[in-house]
Structure 1
Amino acid sequence: MQLYVVDLLHTSGGSIARNTLAVLPFGKKRQQKVAIGDDSGVLTVFFMKKGAAEVEWRSPPLGRPVSRVALQCGRDKLFVGAGQTIWGFTRKGKEFLKFKTNLTETISSLVVHEAMIWAGGDYLLTIYDSCKDAGFVMSPDRINDLQCAAVAGPQTPLCSIVACQDRHIRVYSGEQLYHQYPVDGPVTALGFLRERVPGSQLPIELLYGTETGRAGLALIDTVDNVMREGCLIEVDEDQPAKRKRRAGVVNIMGADFTGSGEPDVLIGRDDGTVEIWREVLSGSPVLAYEVCLHESIRGLDAGYVTTGDYLEVIVSTYSGRVVALTPADTTGAAAAAASGEVEGGEAQTRPDESPEARAKKVKSLEKEVAALREKLEHARKRYQDLSKSVIAAAVPTKISHRFRLMSDEACYLLTVDSPDPIELVVLRSDVAIDLLDCSEGSTEQTPVVTRSDGDSASPLLATMRCQGDPTRLEVRFRTVEGRYGTMSCFVVPKTSLRVCPLIDIPVKPLSLHERVQELPKDLPLNELRITGSFSLGEVHGWLGACVNDLPARPNQDEECAVFRSTYLGTHMEARYSKGSAVFRTDCVATMRILKEVLSSEATNRKIHLAITTDVQDASLPHVLSLVDRRLSVQHALATQVRLVEPLREIQQQEGTVDFLAPDLRHVIDNADSIKREYEEQPRRLSFLHGLVHDTYVSKWQLKGYPSVSRERLEELTAILNNYNLEVLISFFQEPIR
C-alpha cells in the first residue's frame, strides 16, 4: 500500500488533547470538513480547497482548553467539552447550546445521541436527557474512553461502554452494570469495526486498545447477552514485526480504507505510529500499512477531505498538527518519481498538481507568516514592558509526560512530549535508578547523555542534550524494588523565554509489580496479617503508596487485588477491609517491603498495628529457580565472551569455521553483539545478586532475626560468583549461625 502524508493545518493554540478531532458528514460538496479543538479553547472548522486549508469558522474562546469534540450520532452537529461545560455548534458555526454540567471533573468523554448526552470525567459518568440529570455511574477506576451502543436490545436506550484503567471494559444499561469484560492491560481506546444496522441481530463488533500496545476485537451478542473475544489484532509469531515493541493505543476505529468491501482497522499509537490492518474478520489480521509521525497521536478519523476522490485517514498530533494519509496518485511514472514514492508503506510527500494551487498555497502561507510576525512583535513588546516591573515566571510550553511500566521488559518508559523542540532534559533522583537508554522521537539520532557522579541524596544525575529538534523524548529506566522516592525531570524547550517545567515522578517501593486478574494456583505462599484501628480508605491508601494500578479509592467493603512482578514473575495477593489486611506472596522480599512500608505509614498516623507473618520454606527454592533463569543467561554470556578470541584465531588459521559446532559458529557470527551485551553484564549481575541478597535477608528478618552476620553475606556472595543453583538452595536451607 502506498500513501502520501499531507499536512493540512497547524493549530495556533498550541497543544491539543485526546479525541478533539472530528470529520463532519457530507454537506453540499463532495469534500468533508474537519473540526479540531485546541488548548486555547477554540474550535476550528476547515476544509481543503485547491490543495490549501481554508478556515470556514472559529468559535470564540470557550474559557477552558477543549478536552473533547463529538458529533451527534447520525447528524452534523458538533458538541464540545471544555472544563465542565458542553457547547453545541451547527456545521455553520452557530452556537445553539451552552450547558453547565454538575460535574466537578473535566469532561474527557462525550457521546450525544438525539436528546441524550453521556459526559464522563475521570471517575464519574453522568447521563443527561434534554440537559436534565437522568442517572450517573461511578466507575471503579479511571475512565479512559467511552462509546454507546444498543447492547440491551434495539428498543431500549443506548448503553454506555466504558474503557477502564483497571483492565476491564464495562457496559452499563442506565446505572446498572450489564457486562464486565477483562483484558490484559489498561483499556485506553474504544471504537466500532463498522456501523451496526438498526434492528440487526448480529453481534456488536467492539474494537479496543490498551496501554500496553495490544489491540483486539470483542463481540457483544445482544441475543444471548454475552460478551466474548473476537480476535487479537496482531501479526503472527513467525513474522518479525511481532517482536517489535508497540506503544500504547490512543485511537482505534474501523473503516473500509482499502476498498475491499470488508472493514479495516485504523490504529493511532502514543509514539506517533498510525497502522492500517486488513482481514480482521478472518481472525488473522494483516498489517497493511504503518507510518510514524514522530509525535503522540491525539485524534484519528476517516473521510474524503483533500480532494473528495479517496477515503483518507485524518490524524492530529500533540503539537496541533493535522495531517491526512491519502492514497497515492499513480497516474504517470514522472509524478511518482517527483514525489519520491517508495514501496512498502512509507510516508510520502504529495506533489502539487497545478501551478495555480501551488501559488495560492504559497500566498496563503505568506499571509499567515505575516500575521504571526505581527502577533509575535506585539507579544514581544508586551513582554518587554511587563519585564520592567516584574519577572516572568509562567511556563510558556505545556509539557506532557507518561511514566509507564513495560511489563515485557520489566522497565519503565518515560515519554516527554512538547509542542516546541526540546533542547535538553535534566534528570535527578533521590533513589537509585538504572538509566538504560534514551531516544529522540522525531529523529534517528540519540541524545548525548552526560552522567554525573551522584551522592547519597541524588544517586541519579544525568543530562540529555538533543541533537536535532525533537518534540518527543523517550527514556528507559529500571528501578530497584524496596527503594522508593522521587525522580525529578527538568525539560528545557527551545524557546526565547528560558523557563523549564519541572516534572516530579514518584518511584514506589514495589514499582516493578503490575496488576493482573487472578492469582495462579499451587504457589507456595507466605502470609502477612495486619490488624488495627485503621479504616478501609487508610489501608487502601497505604497499599496505593506501594504499587501501581490501584484505583484512587476503594469501591467495596472488602477489596482484593492481585499483582505480578514483571521481572521475576512472582505474585502477590492483597485482601483487606476495615481493621484487617492479609497479604499473600511467594516472594519473601516482597512481603518484607510491604511490612516495612505499611508499618511506616501507620506510625506516621499514630496507628498501632498487630503484625504476624508466616514464612513458607518451600517458597525460597521457588524464587531461586525463577532467578536461576536470568543468572544462567548471564553466566552463559560470560562463557561466550571468553570463547570469542580463541575462535577468531581458529578462523584466521583455518579460513573457515564450517566444521565447528552450531553453537560455536553462533558465537563467531554474533561476536560484536555478544561483547556489547557483556559490557552491560556488571549492572545486570549486580541487580540479580542484589535480588538474591534481599531474599536471604528478608527470610531471616521475617522469622524474627534483626540482622544477618557479615560472614554469611560474604559466603553468599562467594556462592553467587561461582554460581550453582543446588549449592545456593542448600545455603538458603541452612540454619543461621
Structure 2
Amino acid sequence: MDVVLNHVDYLQVGVTSQKTTRLLPAIGRKANQKVAVADSDGVITCFGMKKGEAVPVFRTLPGQRISRLELGGAPGTPQEKIFVSSGSEVRGFTKKGTSLGRTSSTECFGCSSSEQLLYGVEVPGPPSVLELNNKDGGTDGDEILYGTTDGRLGLVKITESAPVVKWEMDNEKKKGGILCIDTFDILGDGVKDILVGRDDGTVEIYALDASNELSLRFEHVLSESVTSIQGGCVGKENYDEVRIASCCSLHSGPLGLKRKITSRLCVCVCVCRSELEQLQVKVLQGREKYQQSSQSSTAVSTVPAFSVNDKFTLCQDDASYSLALEVQTAIDNLLLQSDVPIDLLDVDKNSAVVSFSECDSEPNGNFLLATYRCQANTTRLELKVRSIEGQYGTLQAYITPRLQPKTCQVRQYQIKPLSLHQRTHSIAQDRPMNTLRLVGQFSFAEVHSWVVFCLPEVPEKTPAAESVTFYFQNTFLGTQLEATYSKGEGNFKSDNISTISILKDVLSKEATKRKINLNISYDVNENSVSHTLMMIHPKLEYQLLLSKKVQLIDALKELQVHEGNADFLIPEYRSILDESARLLDEYKKQPAHLERLYGMITDLFIDKFKFKGQNVKTKVSALLEILDNYDLNSLIDFFNEA
C-alpha cells in the first residue's frame, strides 16, 4: 500500500441507504463536481465546495425514506438529472432542484419479458452489489463487478452462452460485507482502480495488473458503514478524490490526495474551532432550558427520535449470526434478551463491556439477558451469537443512545428452527438421504410460509411458479437439505435425520395452528446416521484435542518457571507452550463448542430411534460416557447396537 490519502469531512446529513449519493458531471471550465445525497428522512441535498466550505445548491423538504438515488438524462446529453425512489414512487429533479414530476405506478415500462432463463451465475456468497466494470462493462461491455454480503469481490464476463469468471477475491481477513463498488483512476496511471466500501466502515482501493492480480493499494477504516463510494473531483480542482457516504448521519468524506497545509487551511481550522465554541455555548443553554422546563408541572416531555440501521446475517465461516447496529448518535448501552438458548461470541471489533444477568428460564422462557456498556462516541456496535437448531424464538435488542430525556428502541430478530442453514446452488446427490413427505389440503402460499418460518434466506413472497425447489447447507456441520413443494404436497430430503425431525415437528405444529390435516410419511436411511457422525468426527476430534491442550497450559507454564526453561519437555509440550496464546484465544472465541457437538450427537441418537417409535433417553448417559472416551468406531457401534 503506497497511496497516501487524507480524510476530509464535507457535510453531515441524515442516515443514508445504499447507493444514495452521486457526483454530478462537471460542466464547463470548472472541474469541480456537485454532490447529491439523499437520506432516510426523505431529504435530498445537493451541494458544491467553494473555498473549502460546502455551499448548498438546493435542499428538499422531508418525506418518505429514500432508498436509491441515480442520475439520468436524454441520450447524448450530460446525465445530470436526479432521480430518487421512495417506496413505489419515483421523483425527478434538475441539478438546480426544480421538480420534474413523479410517478407511483407499479407497471413496467419499456420492458421485454421472457419466460426462458438464459443462465444463472453462481457466486461464492449472497450478492449485495453489482457494477459495470470501468462503468461501461469493459472492452466488450459485458463485464460485471460484484460484491457479496460475506465480503467477497469478483469479476464475471457475461457471454451469450455461459458466464466466465475472470477472477474472485476471498475475504481472508474477515472484513465486512461489500455495500458499494466503483471504478476510478485514483492512482493516475491511466488504468481504473477498484474502489470498495464495506459495512464495517472499511474503504479499500485495489489495483489490477495485466495478469488480473489484485493488489491492495489503500485501506482506511471509518467508524460507520460505507453506503456509497465514487471517485471524482469535489473539493479542489485537479485533485482527484474518493467520495464516501457513511451510513449514520455523516457524509464522510472525500479521501483527497495529500495536500500541503496552506494559510487558507489554517483559517478554516480557526473557523471550525470558533464554531465549536459557539455550539458548546448553545448546548449549555439548551440543557439549562430543559432543566427548567422539566421542573414545570405543565411541561410535556417529547421523546427524541433517532434512526437505527441494523443487520442480522448468518456468517458461513463460523456458523454464527452477526448483529450490527448503527445509530445517529453515540450508543449508551445495549440490552439483549432472548427466549431461546443462544451463545454470545467474542468479536475483536467490539470494545463494549458485557455483563450477564441471571435468567429464570423455566417459567418465563428467558434464556439470555446481557448488557453491553459502550465507550464514549461509539455509534456502531457489532456482536455475534450462535443458536441451536430446533430451538426457535425471538432475540430482542434494546438500544439506548446518549440522549436526554432517556429513550430506547427495540428491535426484534427471529431465530428460526433451522437457523444455521444457508441457501446454496446445488447439493451432492450421492449422499444417503432421509425423506419427509407432506400431503394435505394446503395452498402453495401456506406451505411456502411454513418454509419461510423454518429456514433463513427464503423470500417471503410466494414464487410465481406452481412448484419450487430450494437447496440448503448446514454451515456448522456441512449436511444438506432439499426442499421441494407445491400446492397440497411437500417433499424434504436431508442426509441429517435431525433436520428431518425438526421439520416434521415444526411443520406439524404450524399446520395444527391453522387446523389443516396433514398426511405425513417418511423414509429413514440407516446409512445417513453413520454418514453424519463421520461429518461431525473431524470437528469433534479437533475440539477434544484443543480442550486437552488448553488444560495442560497452566501446568506446563508452572514447570517452565520452576525449571527455568522448557528444553526438557518433549516437542509436543513445547509446541503447546509456544502456541499457548493462540490456543487460549481460539478456545475463548468458541465457548461451549464441545458441548454443542455433544448435544448434536445426542439429538441425532434420540431422533434416530424416535422415528422407530422408541424412547432411548435412558441410554443418553451411556452415550456421554463413550463421548468422554471418544472413538469414532465405538460411537458408530453404540448407535447400531442400541
Distance across 1 between alignment mates of 2:573 and 2:381: 39
- Does residue 228 (structure 1) correspond to residue 184 (structure 2)? The answer is no
Report deviation, 1:431: 0.5
Task: State how 1:415-494 maps to structure 2 within 5 Å.
Answer: 415-438=324-347, 446-456=351-361, 457-494=365-402
Q: Deviations over 1:214-273 (max 9, x none)?
A: 11111123xx45432121134xxxxxxx53102111001211221222221111111111
Q: Distance in 1 between matches of 2:383 and 2:38?
A: 30
SS in 2 for 1:243: coil
Q: For 1:187 and 1:572, how far apart are their aligned partners in 2?
A: 22
Matched, 1:196 2:125: no
* Partners of 2:168 and 2:517 in 1: CA distance: 49
TM-aligned CA deviation for residue 554 of structure 1: 2.1
In structure 2, what residue type is equivalent to 1:577?
Answer: S
1:412-431, CA deviations, whole angstroms, 9 ceiling, x for partnerless residues?
11100101000000011111
| One-letter amino acid of the structure 1 residue matched with residue 233 of structure 2 | Y
Name the CA distance, whole Å, in 1 between partners of 2:345 and 2:512: 36
Matches of residues 8-47 of structure 1 in structure 2 within 5 Å? 8-11=10-13, 14-28=14-28, 29-47=30-48
Partner of 1:98: 101
Do 1:190 and 1:253's aligned partners in 2 also have CA atoms closer than 8 Å? Answer: no
- Determine if contact 1:395/1:501 at 8 Å carries over to the other structure: no
Report the residue type matching 2:17 in the other structure: A
Write the mapping of 1:608-687 to structure 2, written as runs, cut at 5 A. Answer: 608-644=517-553, 647-648=556-557, 651=560, 657=566, 662-675=571-584, 677-678=586-587, 683-687=592-596
Aligned to 2:243: 314
Task: Give me the whole-angstrom Cα distance separating, in 2, the residues matched to 1:487 and 1:414.
Answer: 11
TM-score by length of 2: 0.91
Aligned partner of 1:3 in structure 2 is 5
Q: Quote how far apart the aligned CAs of 1:437 are.
A: 2.3
- Structure 2 residue 165 is the aligned partner of structure 1 residue 211: no
Who is 2:463 aligned against? Answer: 554
Change (3 A) 1:564 1:205: same
The amino acid across from 2:101 in the alignment is: K
Structure 2: segments with no counterpart, 5+ residues: none
- Distance in 2, Cα, partners of 1:478 & 1:587: 20
Cα deviation for residue 620 of structure 1 reads: 0.9
> Structure 1 regions of 5+ residues with no counterpart?
104-125, 128-132, 136-171, 235-241, 330-334, 336-351
Using the TM superposition, give the Cα deviation of residue 184 of structure 1 relative to its aligned residue in structure 2, in angstroms.
2.5
Supply the distance in 2 between the matched residues of 1:732 and 1:92 (Cα, whole angstroms): 75
Q: Residue 66 of structure 1: SS of its match in structure 2?
A: coil
Alignment of 1:26-425 (within 5 A): 26-28=26-28, 29-55=30-56, 57-61=57-61, 63-72=63-72, 74-95=78-99, 97-103=100-106, 127=108, 133-135=109-111, 179-196=119-136, 202-221=140-159, 224=160, 226-234=162-170, 243-279=172-208, 282-322=211-251, 323-329=253-259, 352-354=261-263, 356-360=264-268, 362-363=270-271, 366=274, 392=301, 394=303, 396-425=305-334
Matched, 1:734 2:638: no
Task: State the match for 1:722 in structure 2.
Answer: 629
1:565 correspondence with 2:474: yes
Structure-2 change in CA distance of 1:514 and 1:382 (3 Å):
same
Letter in 1 for 2:128: T
AA of the residue aligned to 2:27: G
Matches within 5 A, 1:575-594: 575-594=484-503
Q: Give the share of equivalent positions with the same residue, in percent.
A: 35
For 1:498 and 1:413, how far apart are their aligned partners in 2? Answer: 27
1:463–1:394: structure 2 CA closer, same or farther, 3 Å change rule?
A: same
Cα deviation for residue 88 of structure 1 reads 2.3
Q: 1:656, CA displacement in angstroms?
A: 5.1
User: How many corresponding residue pairs?
Assistant: 629
- What's the offset of the Cα at 1:646? 5.7
Within 2, Cα distance between the matches of 1:505 and 1:39?
A: 22
Amino acid in structure 1 at the alignment position of 2:8: V
Which deviates further from its counterpart, 651-660 or 539-548? Answer: 651-660
Which of 472-481 and 37-46 deviates more?
Answer: 37-46
Letter in 2 for 1:453: E
Structure 1 residues 187 and 258, CA, compared in 2 at 3 Å: closer, same or farther?
same
Contact 2:336 2:371 in 1 (8 A): yes
Structure 1 residues 489 and 47 mapped into 2: Cα distance closer, same or farther (>3 Å)?
same
| Shift, 1:75, TM fit | 1.9
Q: Secondary structure at the match of 1:278?
A: strand
2 CA distance for matches of 1:177 and 1:628?
41
Shift of 1:282: 2.7
SS of residue in 1 equivalent to 2:154: strand
Q: What secondary structure, in the 3-state scheme, does the structure 1 residue paired with 2:636 have?
A: helix
Give the 3 Å change call, closer, same or farther, for CA 86–643 of structure 1 in structure 2.
closer
Report the 3-state secondary structure (helix = DSSP H, G, I; strand = E; otherwise coil) of the residue aligned with 1:180: coil
Question: Which of 422, 427, 434 lines up with 1:519 in the alignment?
Answer: 427
Question: What secondary structure sits across from 2:376 in the alignment?
Answer: coil
Instruction: Give how far 1:651 is off.
Output: 4.5
C-alpha offsets along residues 372-403 of structure 1, whole Å, 9 cap, x if unaligned?
98799799779959996686565511111111
Tell me the distance in 1 between the aligned counterparts of 2:342 and 2:533.
Answer: 24
Cα offset, 1:174, TM superposition: 8.1
- 1:725 corresponds to which letter in structure 2? L
- Deviation at residue 576 of structure 1 after TM alignment: 0.8
Q: Does 608-617 or 242-251 show the bigger shift?
A: 242-251
281 and 594 in structure 1: CA distance in 2 versus 1, 3 angstrom threshold: farther
1:686-701 mapped onto 2 (5 Å cutoff): 686-701=595-610
| Partner Cα separation in structure 2 for residue 276 and residue 620 of structure 1 | 48
Deviation at 1:370, TM superposition (A): 5.5
Name the aligned partner's letter for residue 218 of structure 1.
Answer: V
Q: CA RMSD in A?
A: 2.9
CA distance in structure 2 between the aligned counterparts of 1:53 and 1:81, rounded to whole angstroms: 25
Q: CA deviation at 1:54?
A: 2.1
Q: Give the distance between the partners of 1:468 and 1:370, measured in 2 at CA.
A: 22
Secondary structure, counterpart of 2:346 in structure 1: strand
Q: Which moved more, 1:538-547 or 1:366-375?
A: 366-375
Q: Is the 8 A contact 1:4 1:327 kept in 2?
A: yes
Native 8 Å contact 1:439 1:447 kept in 2: no
Distance, in Å, in 1 between the alignment partners of 2:268 and 2:22 is 26
CA distance in structure 2 between the partners assigned to 1:463 and 1:650 by the alignment? 39
What displacement does 1:652 show?
5.2
- TM-aligned CA distance change 1:215 to 1:204, over 3 Å: same
Alpha-carbon contact 2:606-2:617 (below 8 Å) kept: no
Distance across 1 between alignment mates of 2:550 and 2:119: 55
Mapped to 1, the partners of 2:640 and 2:607 lie a distance apart of 14
**Contact persistence 1:193–1:264 (CA under 8 A):** no
Q: Summarize the Cα distance change of 1:371–1:493 in structure 2 as closer, same or farther, 3 Å threshold.
A: closer
Is the 8 Å Cα contact of residues 3 and 328 (structure 1) preserved in structure 2? yes
| Distance apart, 1:183 and its partner CA | 1.8
Give, as a single letter, the amino acid of the residue that structure 2 aligns with 1:263. Answer: K
Decide whether aligned partners of structure 1 residues 581 and 731 sit closer, same or farther in structure 2, where only a CA change above 3 A counts: same
Aligned match for 1:541, one of 439, 442, 449? 449
